[in-house]
């Protein structure tokens, strides 16, 4: 979709549709009030008649208002004005985009971006960028494998986002560029996550990485094959792949936007393209959703896509550990002991705790890049879903400033994370009578003990872990990948480029550069 920003009176917009907000008790937003005055009170008259009262999610489409230049005006309910925060703003945008899409409007001018959103840093830049990201998310459909695509209506192609002043144009234009870049990364992650496991194999992920690398001179890719991993001694990762006919891949992407020799940020993704649980096989119900077990890998590729689009002045290394986890006569068995790339040994008590096995070797591999920080992302534990539900990623780490920066990036981007403790006391749950450690720590604190396991392979760098099992996809009628945590990671990388996080964001938004 094409996005642009402009300032101007709503009644003077030549457009298929102008979108304005209405708060509860029929209180008109500034743009809606301007339209009402221009058309002689027609809008307020309709509201008094009971057609709409401004509750969140309500919409009312008006045609041919007198003394206005747009074909239609869409009123969008915003709820109570004093409670109009991030959630309500997003809901209003989603409602507007759905109506525009359903009614066949190919373009529109949206005045919701002028509304005052409660909360820190909810300025013009934030409102415009969130509008771009929300619009792209709302219109997304995964239909590439459907033969009977719905072509009855023309798709929404262009949105113009209104600003209250010409002084805000520079900040708005930057917000459009950055929002579109992050949305492109989210879309790539969603596409990969939604593909079935018979299409999206480890080899497919490697080809997608190569295709991404061709899009920018700043991006290079290398793919380690099974023989390379055997030579290196990646016994943990290879143990997971033993049950599959699809060979594993370790995909390494180098984005060089910063100074030569500057330490990179390393992003490490779990890429289990299908997880049956192996010999410790999962229940059949909802096992189809285990195609989403590679959403950590998709998130790494999506974040690098955003880096390319934004041309960020930073060095980033993306590492994807890709494999299937299936039962087979040669599959790893409960009780097997494997030797990791670090030389530490692991007793595999549960083959369904495979994500930490592929990640531990990938984390050790990152040492050769001498990274400034390392962030891994993985659909790692059901325990994290129990703890935090579908709203926040679990966040654990060994470097407090890194953890804080990720939390701030999540808060600003709306892709939130919540810190869980990583205390030494939890390490005792990983004791093994036969190896250096077990790959599970029992029922209690499952998300934490999984991170404790990974922490044993991160002694040589600053590290944080994002457990995205609850946020990477949705179930039910809305089943599909979400693209998270690409917004969080993209914001974190933007903040590192700014050098001062939220304070720099505010200065940049005001300056528009």
Mean pLDDT of 391-417: 98
**What was the pLDDT predicted at 57?**
87
What is the CATH number for 160? 3.40.220.10
Judge whether residue 271 has pLDDT over 70. yes
One domain, residues 201 and 303 = yes
| Confidence bin at 155 (pLDDT 50/70/90) | confident
Give the integer Cα–Cα distance in Å for 142 and 137.
11
Quick check: is 178 in a domain? no
User: Phi, psi (5° rounding) for residue 246?
Assistant: -90, 120
Q: Give the β-pairing of 249-256 and 107-110.
A: unpaired
Quick check: is 380 in a domain? yes
Among the listed residues 320, 322, 324, 321, the one whose alpha carbon sits nearest the alpha carbon of residue 304? 320
User: Phi, psi (5° rounding) for residue 158?
Assistant: -145, 135
Judge whether residue 513 has pLDDT over 50. no
Q: Residue 428's beta-bridge partner residues?
A: none
**What was the pLDDT predicted at 185?**
98
One domain, residues 113 and 252 = no
Give the torsion sign (CA, 175, 501, 184, 290): negative
Judge whether residue 232 has pLDDT over 70. yes
User: Phi, psi (5° rounding) for residue 21?
Assistant: -100, 150
Kindly report, residue by residue over 124-137, the tens digit of the pLDDT. Answer: 999 999 999 999 99
One domain, residues 360 and 292 = yes
pTM: 0.95
One domain, residues 155 and 226 = no
**What was the pLDDT predicted at 507?**
54
Question: Quick one: what percent of the chain has pLDDT higher than 90?
Answer: 94
Of 102, 136, 165, the residue that ends a domain is: 165
- Residue 333: which residues within 8 A CB-CB, separation 6 or more? 279, 348, 351
Contact 64, 40 (CB under 8 A): no
Mean pLDDT of 28-50: 95
Mean pLDDT of 33-41: 96
DSSP string of 263-288, one letter each residue: PPEEEEEEEEEEE--TTSPPPSTTGG
Domain count within the chain: 2
**What was the pLDDT predicted at 93?**
98
- Residue 317: which residues within 8 A CB-CB, separation 6 or more? 252, 253, 254, 255, 264, 265, 266, 267, 366, 369, 371
For residues 347-365, one letter each, b for 16 or more C-beta atoms within 10 angstroms of the residue's C-beta and e for the rest, the string is: bbbebbbbbbbbbbbbbbb
Q: Residue 76's beta-bridge partner residues?
A: 21, 59
Contact 205, 297 (CB under 8 A): yes
Residue with tokens 């229940």, as numbered in its chain: 283
Task: Considering only CA atoms, give the Rg of the chain.
Answer: 25
Judge whether residue 512 has pLDDT over 90. no
One domain, residues 351 and 484 = yes
User: Phi, psi (5° rounding) for residue 257?
Assistant: -105, -15
One domain, residues 155 and 299 = no
What is the CATH number for 451? 3.40.630.10
Q: Residue 36's beta-bridge partner residues?
A: none
| Confidence bin at 104 (pLDDT 50/70/90) | confident
| Confidence bin at 154 (pLDDT 50/70/90) | confident
**What was the pLDDT predicted at 508?**
54
One domain, residues 200 and 239 = yes
Q: Which residue has the higher pLDDT, 57 or 451?
A: 451
Quick check: is 508 in a domain? no
**What was the pLDDT predicted at 90?**
97
Give the integer Cα–Cα distance in Å for 289 and 96.
30
Quick check: is 405 in a domain? yes
Residue with tokens 């008790």, as numbered in its chain: 25
What are 181's two structure tokens? 């870049």
Among the listed residues 365, 340, 366, the one whose alpha carbon sits nearest the alpha carbon of residue 453? 340
Among the listed residues 299, 57, 3, 373, the one whose alpha carbon sits nearest the alpha carbon of residue 174? 3
One domain, residues 245 and 313 = yes
One domain, residues 379 and 491 = yes
Segment among 335-349, 420-434, 499-513 with least mean pLDDT: 499-513
Residues annotated catalytic, as ranges: 282, 356
Mean pLDDT of 60-71: 94
Contact 490, 306 (CB under 8 A): yes
**What was the pLDDT predicted at 126?**
97
Contact 69, 13 (CB under 8 A): yes
One domain, residues 242 and 385 = yes
One domain, residues 147 and 292 = no
One domain, residues 112 and 239 = no
Among the listed residues 220, 203, 236, the one whose alpha carbon sits nearest the alpha carbon of residue 365? 236
Give the integer Cα–Cα distance in Å for 79 and 332.
55
Three-state SS for 64? coil
Contact 264, 369 (CB under 8 A): yes
Contact 97, 156 (CB under 8 A): yes
Give the integer Cα–Cα distance in Å for 388 and 394.
7
Of 134, 165, 196, the residue that ends a domain is: 165
The rounded mean pLDDT for the chain is 95
Judge whether residue 55 has pLDDT over 60. yes
Quick check: is 174 in a domain? no
User: Counting beta carbons within 10 angstroms of the beta carbon of residue 227, is it exposed (0 to 12), middle (13 to 18) or buried (19 or more)?
Assistant: exposed
Give the integer Cα–Cα distance in Å for 323 and 195.
15
What are 473's two structure tokens? 């996809």
Quick check: is 509 in a domain? no
Quick check: is 512 in a domain? no
Element (H, E) at 94: helix 86-102
Mean pLDDT of 57-66: 94
Contact 380, 321 (CB under 8 A): no
Judge whether residue 152 has pLDDT over 90. no
Its domain, for residue 83, covers: 2-165
Of 165, 193, 218, the residue that ends a domain is: 165
């Amino acid at each position: 979709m094409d996005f642009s920003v402009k300032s101007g009176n709503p009644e003077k917009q030549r457009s298929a549709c102008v979108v304005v907000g209405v708060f509860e008790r029929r209180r008109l937003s500034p743009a809606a009030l301007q339209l009402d005055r221009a058309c002689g009170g027609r809008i307020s008259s309709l509201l008094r008649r009971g057609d709409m009262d401004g509750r969140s999610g309500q919409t009312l489409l008006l045609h041919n208002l007198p003394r206005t230049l747009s074909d239609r005006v869409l009123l969008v309910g915003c709820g109570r004005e004093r409670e109009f925060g991030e959630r309500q703003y997003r809901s209003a945008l989603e409602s507007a985009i759905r109506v525009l899409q359903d009614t066949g409007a190919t373009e529109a001018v949206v005045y919701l971006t002028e509304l005052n959103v409660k909360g820190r840093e909810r300025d013009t830049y934030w409102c415009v960028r969130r509008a771009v990201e929300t619009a792209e998310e709302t219109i997304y459909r995964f239909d590439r494998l459907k033969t009977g695509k719905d072509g009855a209506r023309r798709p929404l192609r262009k949105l113009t986002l209104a600003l209250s002043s010409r002084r805000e144009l520079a900040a708005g234009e930057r917000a459009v560029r950055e929002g579109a870049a992050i949305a492109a990364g989210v879309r790539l992650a969603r596409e990969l996550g939604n593909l079935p496991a018979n299409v999206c194999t480890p080899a497919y992920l490697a080809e997608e990485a190569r295709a991404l690398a061709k899009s920018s001179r700043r991006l290079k890719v290398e793919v380690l094959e099974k023989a390379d991993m055997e030579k290196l001694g990646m016994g943990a990762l290879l143990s997971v792949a033993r049950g599959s006919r699809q060979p594993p891949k370790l995909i390494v992407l180098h984005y060089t936007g910063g100074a030569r020799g500057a330490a990179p940020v390393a992003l490490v993704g779990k890429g289990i393209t299908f997880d049956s649980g192996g010999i410790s096989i999962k229940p059949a119900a909802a096992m189809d959703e285990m195609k989403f077990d590679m959403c950590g890998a998709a998130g790494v590729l999506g974040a690098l896509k955003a880096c390319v689009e934004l041309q960020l002045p930073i060095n980033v290394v993306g590492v994807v550990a890709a494999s299937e986890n299936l039962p087979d006569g040669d599959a790893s068995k409960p009780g097997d002991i494997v030797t990791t790339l670090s030389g530490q040994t692991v007793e595999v008590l549960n083959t369904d705790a495979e994500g930490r096995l592929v990640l531990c070797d990938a984390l050790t591999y990152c040492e050769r890049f001498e990274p400034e920080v390392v962030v891994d992302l993985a659909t790692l534990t059901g325990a994290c879903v129990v703890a935090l539900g579908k709203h926040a990623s679990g966040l654990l780490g060994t470097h407090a400033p890194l953890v804080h920066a990720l939390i701030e990036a999540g808060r600003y981007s709306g892709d939130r994370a919540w810190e869980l403790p990583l205390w030494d006391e939890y390490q005792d749950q990983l004791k093994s009578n036969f190896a250096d450690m077990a790959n599970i720590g029992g029922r209690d604190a499952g998300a934490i003990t999984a991170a404790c396991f990974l922490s044993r392979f991160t002694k040589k760098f600053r590290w944080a872990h994002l457990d995205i099992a609850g946020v990477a996809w949705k179930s039910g009628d809305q089943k599909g990948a979400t693209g998270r945590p690409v917004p969080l990671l993209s914001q974190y990388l933007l903040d590192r480029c700014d050098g001062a996080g939220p304070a720099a964001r505010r200065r940049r938004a005001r300056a528009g550069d």
